[in-house]
């Protein structure tokens, strides 16, 4: 039903995602309604399709962002177990999902978007600053954008204490679930990551994996569905 979720406004897009059950939690719906995709997509922002944003990167289709948030929700919402959720958004690109995640982590939460080249990091920051809400999230420190190799995760040296991430979203296809990401995933924690799958009989070539780490550090992986993402790789050469 994802291809039927396009709208003529941000609210219509989100309502269609809700009606088609791509969004199923009221908290997720509320967060998407607060973030106007027109600030992040270069054209036709309310179409439920991916779009290029330059530098060999794309902004994913809204239904894919919705799926990511739905799967990660219990690890990004503040509560007694994690009053200040820490979320890592690898391949933050346009900054759209980074903003949606920030709407969910609460006032004490933190979202860090990591990009492999400076212009994309700057693009995410610039897009978020188009709205008052986005500017406040950046100025208040709830959102930070950084440049780095997403395959190695991110060590947030600016924050004392916890060094792990309650949730990790990866917005580009990895050749494998990298050990650095598993090491940085909290116990408990969850990662949403597309991974190359050359043996896929349906021809997708990639699948989304939901990777859980429990309180004892045991890791379990679930293959969800086929996708096509740009690769998680080195920065493109000029």
Taking only the tens place, the pLDDT of each residue in 42-89 is 999 999 999 999 988 899 999 999 999 999 999 999 998 899 999 999
Question: Per-residue pLDDT for 231 more than 80?
Answer: no
Burial call 156-190: b when 16+ CB within 10 Å, e when fewer = beeeeeeebbbbbbbbbbbeebbeebbebbbebbb
- The mean pLDDT of 147-159, rounded to a whole number, is 82
Q: Beta 143-147 vs 110-115: how paired, if at all?
A: parallel
List, by residue number, the catalytic residues. 60
16 falls within a domain: yes
CB neighbour list of residue 211: distance below 8 Å, 6 or more residues apart:
177, 182, 185, 190, 191, 192, 193, 219, 220, 221, 222
56 falls within a domain: no
pLDDT in tens, 172-218: 777 777 889 999 999 999 999 888 676 655 555 788 889 999 999 99
237 falls within a domain: no
Q: Tell me what pLDDT residue 204 has.
A: 55
Radius of gyration of the chain (CA): 16
Interatomic CA distance for residues 60 and 207, integer angstroms: 15
Place of tokens 């106007």: 36
232 falls within a domain: no
53 falls within a domain: no
CB neighbour list of residue 75: distance below 8 Å, 6 or more residues apart:
82, 85, 87, 166, 167, 188, 189, 190
193 falls within a domain: yes
Number of domains in the chain: 1
Burial (0-12, 13-18, 19+ Cβ within 10 Å), 96: buried
Read off the pLDDT band of 2 (50, 70, 90). Answer: low
Question: What does the chain come to in residues?
Answer: 238
Interatomic CA distance for residues 231 and 3, integer angstroms: 23
Domain of 27 in residue numbering reads as 2-48+61-227
Contact present, 191 and 216 (Cβ < 8 Å):
no
- Specify the pTM: 0.91
For the domain that residue 65 is a member of, what is the CATH number?
A: 3.40.50.150
| Cα dihedral 192, 121, 8, 230 sign | negative
Question: If DSSP codes are grouped into helix, strand and coil, which group holds residue 197?
Answer: coil
Contact present, 185 and 165 (Cβ < 8 Å):
yes
Burial call 211-237: b when 16+ CB within 10 Å, e when fewer = bbbeeeeeeeeeeeeebebbebeeeee
135 falls within a domain: yes
179 falls within a domain: yes
Question: If DSSP codes are grouped into helix, strand and coil, which group holds residue 94?
Answer: coil
Q: Please tell me the least confidently modeled range out of 62-76, 85-99, 113-127, 167-181.
A: 167-181
Question: Per-residue pLDDT for 158 more than 70?
Answer: no
Interatomic CA distance for residues 159 and 156, integer angstroms: 6
């Amino acid at each position: 039903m994802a291809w039927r979720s396009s709208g003529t406004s941000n609210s219509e897009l989100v309502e269609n995602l809700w009606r088609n059950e791509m969004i199923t939690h009221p908290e997720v719906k509320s967060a998407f309604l607060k973030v106007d995709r027109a600030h992040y997509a270069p054209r036709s922002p309310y179409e439920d399709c991916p779009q290029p944003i330059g530098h060999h990167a794309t902004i994913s289709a809204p239904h894919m962002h919705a799926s990511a948030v739905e799967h990660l929700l219990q690890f990004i919402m503040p509560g007694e177990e994690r009053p200040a959720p820490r979320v890592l958004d690898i391949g933050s690109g346009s900054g759209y999902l980074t903003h949606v995640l920030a709407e969910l982590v609460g006032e004490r939460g933190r979202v860090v978007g990591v990009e492999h080249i400076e212009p994309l990091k700057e693009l995410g920051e610039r897009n978020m600053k188009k709205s008052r809400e986005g500017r406040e999230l950046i100025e208040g420190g709830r959102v930070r954008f950084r440049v780095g190799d997403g395959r190695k995760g991110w060590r947030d040296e600016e924050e004392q204490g916890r060094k792990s991430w309650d949730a990790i979203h990866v917005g580009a296809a990895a050749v494998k679930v990298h050990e650095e990401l598993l090491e940085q995933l909290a116990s408990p924690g969850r990662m949403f990551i597309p991974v190359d799958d050359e043996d896929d009989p349906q021809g997708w070539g990639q699948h989304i994996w939901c990777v859980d780490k429990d309180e004892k550090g045991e890791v379990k992986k679930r293959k969800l569905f086929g996708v096509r993402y740009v690769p998680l790789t080195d920065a493109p050469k000029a």
